[in-house]
């Protein structure tokens, strides 16, 4: 059993709390003790991506202190983008604002931080039943920054009855990109619709992913287009399968 600290992320906490609940239930089912660092807030990614380094660092440092002081063996993050911000960009962020001490502390913290599917897959294949045909979306940060590709595929492949459809656009950006979807809405929608057209060809019952922001964006477009394909975070699939 490990002591797991869960950073729910802003999107999960505000928009999809059921995903956070699913993550806790799955981790507890695996036999781990799960607690949430109470003073942790945002990772600072929205401000960082918009060029507001000082504001981002102020928010990130609060979360850094919460995570490094939390009594846990590992910090699990159910979002590749937030995990990337913490593991990859925090060091750069703090260096940019001249906080070298925080940068070193972020470097020491990084090995303790694991994206959800990465952590689950590292503990072995989980038995479960999910008799559905699904398509998996490889989100940009997980794939290109963290190098996480096989882990979620391994998890889905280990569920009895689950068929993962081959999808030509599975590694293509969904078009969300945080502030990009606000600053460039026409392009963002076009990218999502292009991905959805490819998704429809798979005849999948559900679209699965590990970044709730991507899933929120794609589900929004699916519903506006009148499509009935379910959209679920991997944690929700595992909760149901177990």
What string of pLDDT tens digits covers the 242 residues of the chain? 899 999 999 999 999 999 999 999 999 999 999 999 999 999 999 999 999 999 999 999 999 999 999 999 999 999 999 999 999 999 999 999 999 999 999 999 999 999 999 999 998 877 899 999 999 999 999 999 999 999 999 999 999 999 999 999 999 999 998 888 888 999 999 999 999 999 999 999 999 999 999 999 999 999 999 999 999 999 999 999 99
Record the pTM: 0.94
Q: Could you tell me the CA-to-CA distances from 176 to 121, 233, 238 in Å, in that order?
A: 26, 16, 25
The whole-number pLDDT of residue 124 equals: 80
Whether the Cβ atoms of residue 67 and residue 109 lie closer than 8 Å to each other: yes
Orientation of helix 234-241 relative to helix 17-29, angle to 10°: 50
Residue 148 backbone phi and psi in degrees, to 5: -95, 110
Whether the Cβ atoms of residue 192 and residue 177 lie closer than 8 Å to each other: no
* Of 112, 102, 101, nearest in space to 7 by CA: 112
Q: Could you tell me the CA-to-CA distances from 89 to 108, 130, 178, 226 in Å, in that order?
A: 13, 36, 16, 38
The whole-number pLDDT of residue 24 equals: 98
Q: What gap in Å lies between CA 79 and CA 81, rounded to an integer? A: 6
The whole-number pLDDT of residue 177 equals: 86
The whole-number pLDDT of residue 115 equals: 98
| Helix ranges, 70-201 (H) | 80-84, 90-96, 100-109, 116-122, 140, 150-157, 180-183, 185-200
Would you give the DSSP letter of residue 86? I
The encoded tokens of residue 151 equal 């882990």
Q: What gap in Å lies between CA 186 and CA 188, rounded to an integer? A: 5
Buried b (16+ CB within 10 A) or exposed e, 137-147: bbbbbbbebbe
Beta-carbon contacts of residue 160 (< 8 Å; ≥ 6 apart): 127, 128, 129, 130, 131
What is the gyration radius of the CA atoms in the chain, in angstroms? Answer: 18
- 234: how many CB neighbours lie within 10 A of its CB? 26
Residue with tokens 């975070």: 233
CA angle 207, 212, 214 (to 5 degrees): 70
């Amino acid at each position: 059993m490990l002591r797991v600290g869960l950073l729910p992320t802003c999107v999960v906490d505000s928009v999809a709390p059921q995903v956070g609940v699913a993550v806790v239930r799955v981790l507890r089912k695996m036999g781990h003790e799960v607690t949430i660092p109470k003073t942790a807030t945002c990772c600072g990614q929205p401000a960082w991506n918009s060029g507001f380094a000082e504001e981002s660092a102020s928010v990130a440092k609060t979360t850094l202190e919460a995570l490094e002081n939390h009594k846990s063996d590992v910090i699990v993050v159910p979002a590749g983008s937030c995990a990337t911000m913490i593991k990859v960009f925090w060091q750069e962020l703090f260096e940019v604002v001249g906080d070298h001490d925080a940068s070193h502390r972020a470097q020491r913290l990084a090995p303790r931080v694991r994206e959800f599917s990465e952590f689950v897959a590292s503990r072995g294949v989980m038995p479960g039943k999910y008799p559905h045909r699904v398509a998996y979306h490889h989100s940009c940060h997980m794939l290109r920054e963290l190098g996480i590709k096989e882990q979620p595929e391994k998890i889905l492949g280990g569920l009895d009855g689950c068929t993962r459809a081959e999808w030509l656009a599975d590694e293509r950006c969904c078009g969300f990109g945080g502030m990009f979807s606000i600053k460039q809405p026409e392009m963002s929608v076009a990218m999502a619709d292009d991905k959805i057209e490819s998704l429809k060809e798979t005849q999948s019952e559900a679209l699965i992913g590990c970044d709730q922001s991507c899933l929120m964006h794609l589900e929004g477009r699916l519903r506006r287009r009148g499509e009935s394909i379910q959209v679920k975070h991997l944690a929700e699939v595992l909760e149901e399968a177990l």
